[in-house]
Amino acid sequence: MSKPTTQPPDFDEEFTKAVADWRGKHRLEEDEAVLLLVELFRIHQRHWDELRRREIPAFSEFRADIGKLADAARTFQVQSSALLEAIRDQPMGKRSVRITRTAAFFAALACLLGGYLIGRAWR
């Protein structure tokens, strides 16, 4: 099933007809300053339309990026699940060394005393 290629409507022709009708209604000459401003506006509009076309990615690019993101998420999930299984399968090692409250208290007291003595020496 192929996608139909739809051409965007050509508003230039409609705009030209509207300007011609407007000129006729107000009896404007071809070299009027207002018509030069209208032409300048059209140039400006074409410029910004072209910039928008360049900046906005096509839907197919967007779809491809979403597909890559989904693949990366699946790969991450598979690899993280494998890592968790490998960690769970590891035998429990020796009991880790724990610091007692008394040892932590004396270490903190020694740090405070050392800081106090260093502060006194630098005065």
pTM, rounded to two decimals: 0.35
- Tell me: the pLDDT tens digits for 70-86? 999 999 999 999 999 98
Distance CA 92, CA 49 (A): 64
H helix or E strand, kind and range, residue 90: none
Distance CA 121, CA 115 (A): 10
pLDDT band at 3 (very low <50, low <70, confident <90, very high): low
- Tell me: the pLDDT tens digits for 13-72? 887 888 888 888 888 787 778 878 888 888 888 888 888 888 777 777 788 889 999 999
Model pLDDT, residue 1: 47
Model pLDDT, residue 72: 93
Model pLDDT, residue 93: 66
Residues 6+ apart with CB under 8 A from 28: 22, 34, 35
Percentage of the chain lying above the pLDDT 70 cut: 87
Model pLDDT, residue 95: 57
pLDDT band at 114 (very low <50, low <70, confident <90, very high): very high
SS3 content of the chain, % helix, strand, coil (to 5): 75, 0, 25
